[in-house]
Structure 1
Amino acid sequence: MKPCLLVLIPLTESDRTELDGRFEVIYAPDPDARAQALARRGKDVRVVLTNGTTGLTAEEIDGLPALELAGALGAGYENLALDYARERGIALCNGAGVNADCVADHALALLLAAVRAVPQFDAACRTGVWRDALPMRPTVTGRRLGIVGYGHIGEKVARRAAGFGMELGYHNRQPREDALARYFESVLTLAQWSDFLVIATPGGAQTKHLIDRAVIDALGPQGFLVNISRGSVVDTAALAVALKNGALGGAGLDVYEGEPQPPAALIGLDNVVLTPHVAGSSPDVRAATVRHFAENAARHFAGEALLTPL
């Protein structure tokens, strides 16, 4: 008999087909379906698939007496009640590292777009404005790049940036012996050193507004900020003020506070590039993350170690 899996996030048809072969799937990707599934089938559920944004609450866990494993599809897990799940003896996993290449690619794309003003130049070209009427933009090669969070994604950002001849620095909870970059003990000192700052740290209460006014000011009017982690890590109000006042050169954001609503304080500014939380999304990545989750579940039911435990 296949274990009962409650899916709390939207999946493609191919994703669902992949999981249907391994589980009895209860598909509840919206609040109404979620509430109904918990009420009607909660007692049968042995596995939950969610993500960092959707999460899984302690109250919902109480309604799942047979729950053995809860997985976050991507790397993020900030809204999953980890401590409570652990108290219940529930195994936990995520998709750490599976989409790291895609996210790192997007981070460099945002950095290049922001520094080189690609969206603005595209718009100007379409209206017939030639280069002589446009300001010159900085070179990316040879600049100092700071990375906040040197995990799977941060390391891959560093490797890509090395191809641009950048000098690399990073801040992490603790130094990494294998890092390609120089370690800084605080985000503030890293920002003071950096020309560009890429945020690749996990979200959650511990990193809320880690990038505050002081850090943004430390980057300075020639500095650029890229965030491909979680919107909560950056103080949006402070960022908007700095961008409006010229205290920061520019920014590239794939994530922002208040998702999915666009950041009202930023959308009218021409020195910020925005994308709708798509850094880790591609057809091949999505298929790989679903397979990764399924493999974690298979290992759990076989009594083996999870690939990416939390």
Structure 2
Amino acid sequence: MAPSPSAAAGADAGKPLVILPGPLFPELAAGLDGRFRFVLAADADEGTAAEARAVLVAALAPVSADLLGRLPKLELVVATSAGVDHIDHAACRRRGIRVTNTSEVFAPDVADYAVGLVVAVLRRVAAAEAYLRRGRWAADGDYPPATKVSGKRVGIVGLGSIGGLVARRLAAFGCVIAYNSRSPKPSAPYKFYSSVRELAEESDVLVLCCALTEETRRMVNREVMEALGKDGVLVNVGRGGLVDEAELVRCLREGVVGGAGLDVYVNEPAVPPELFGMDNVVLSDHRAVITPESIQGVIDVVKANLDAFFSGKPLISQVQL
């Protein structure tokens, strides 16, 4: 016989309370089952909201100033994502609310995927496969040759945990690496450019790995795309908002840039429909981060951060806002 609601509430009474802006994905719910008392923000009454010290954000559910304002004792927001642009940074800073993410968990998988997009766009993998599937290899002969990967000049925007791994992987291809970041990395063996436009001008491929902030929003505009040039390739595994998406569509249509590999978009899950017919563009559905291994890693990091917080220990992946 299933326990009554009152019995279930009693069983959870001694567990730490965690507010959820949205539902947990099934694997995370199973991994955290029995450890915490979860309440959806929409279901939290005034007493529950007044008690809450922690919020757990599944996927990219927004954490607004309004939500934070309903939780007067809130001290921690735990994100299951690498980026935290869906959380109101200013409101968190004002209140001294700490934020954690899972960027270290996702970094290897996103870096692998970024390299895959670089290869797929430069070698026209998707277009060549579509050509074969339509029977054109037998009917019309070989698909036109595409350019090599090795030796390309690759500019990486954001040389953090993801960008650093992208750099190492593409360096192994024989690519020449340069980067733009908030400041030079003394330990990085790559040339630093203080502006994205200058980096694009000296690159054959521009890979976006940085966080989305007000400073980086639409940082890749027409000027940057013109600097990248008609043979240049843009790869984005960061956030869609890093790019002026409408301008990217125009630049691809006009031949201002040579191609793009995109895993992220401005208004997900909406994708500009003009991109679907472009054989120099490779598209995917924000899946660079998603592998069975990374999902387990997220569960482990979220669990460790919540356990550390409620036991008064240092957080393991705090973000500097």
TM-score, length-scaled by structure 1: 0.92
- 1:205-230: CA deviation from partner (whole Å, max 9, x where unpaired): 21111000011111111110000000
After superposition, the Cα gap between the structure-2 partners of 1:283 and 1:47, relative to the gap in structure 1 and judged at 3 Å, is same
1:117 and 1:137 in contact (8 A); partners too: yes
Deviation (angstroms), 1:132? 3.7
1:223 and 1:250 in contact (8 A); partners too: yes
1:45 corresponds to 2:56: no
2:24 and 2:58 in contact (8 A); partners too: no
How do 1:50-61 residues align onto structure 2 when only pairs under 5 Å count? 50=57, 53-61=60-68
**For residues 26 and 62 of structure 2, what CA distance do their matches in structure 1 show?**
22
2:172 alignment partner, one of 143, 163, 185: 163
Larger Rg over CA atoms: 2
Aligned to 1:251: 260
Aligned to 1:298: 307
2:273 alignment partner, one of 264, 268, 274: 264
User: Which range moved further: 107-116 or 44-53?
Assistant: 44-53
2:171 and 2:177 in contact (8 A); partners too: yes
Deviation (angstroms), 1:115? 1.0
**For residues 256 and 55 of structure 1, what CA distance do their matches in structure 2 show?**
16
Aligned to 2:143: 134
How do 1:120-199 residues align onto structure 2 when only pairs under 5 Å count? 120-130=127-137, 132-199=141-208
- 1:54-98: CA deviation from partner (whole Å, max 9, x where unpaired): 231111112123322111111111121223223333222111211
Deviation (angstroms), 1:109? 0.9
How do 1:35-114 residues align onto structure 2 when only pairs under 5 Å count? 35-37=42-44, 41-50=48-57, 53-114=60-121
Deviation (angstroms), 1:173? 0.6
2:308 and 2:315 in contact (8 A); partners too: yes
User: Which range moved further: 79-88 or 146-155?
Assistant: 79-88
1:52 and 1:77 in contact (8 A); partners too: no
SS in 1 for 2:277: coil
Aligned to 1:16: 29
User: Which range moved further: 191-200 or 126-135?
Assistant: 126-135
**For residues 280 and 228 of structure 1, what CA distance do their matches in structure 2 show?**
9
**For residues 239 and 100 of structure 1, what CA distance do their matches in structure 2 show?**
26
Structure 1: segments with no counterpart, 5+ residues: 29-33
**For residues 203 and 159 of structure 2, what CA distance do their matches in structure 1 show?**
15
After superposition, the Cα gap between the structure-2 partners of 1:9 and 1:137, relative to the gap in structure 1 and judged at 3 Å, is farther
SS in 1 for 2:104: coil
Identity of aligned residues (%): 38
SS in 2 for 1:266: helix
- 1:238-286: CA deviation from partner (whole Å, max 9, x where unpaired): 1111111111110000001111112233223221111011111111101
User: Which range moved further: 69-78 or 40-49?
Assistant: 40-49
RMSD (Å) for aligned C-alpha atoms: 1.8
SS in 2 for 1:205: coil
Aligned to 1:279: 288
2:53 and 2:74 in contact (8 A); partners too: yes
- 1:120-171: CA deviation from partner (whole Å, max 9, x where unpaired): 1111111222284422100001111100000000000001101100000000
How do 1:227-246 residues align onto structure 2 when only pairs under 5 Å count? 227-246=236-255
2:155 and 2:200 in contact (8 A); partners too: yes
Structure 2: segments with no counterpart, 5+ residues: 1-13
How many residues of Structure 1 are paired with residues of Structure 2 in the alignment? Answer: 304
**For residues 112 and 269 of structure 1, what CA distance do their matches in structure 2 show?**
17
Aligned residue identity for 1:23: F
SS in 1 for 2:18: strand
1:38 and 1:60 in contact (8 A); partners too: no
SS in 1 for 2:164: helix
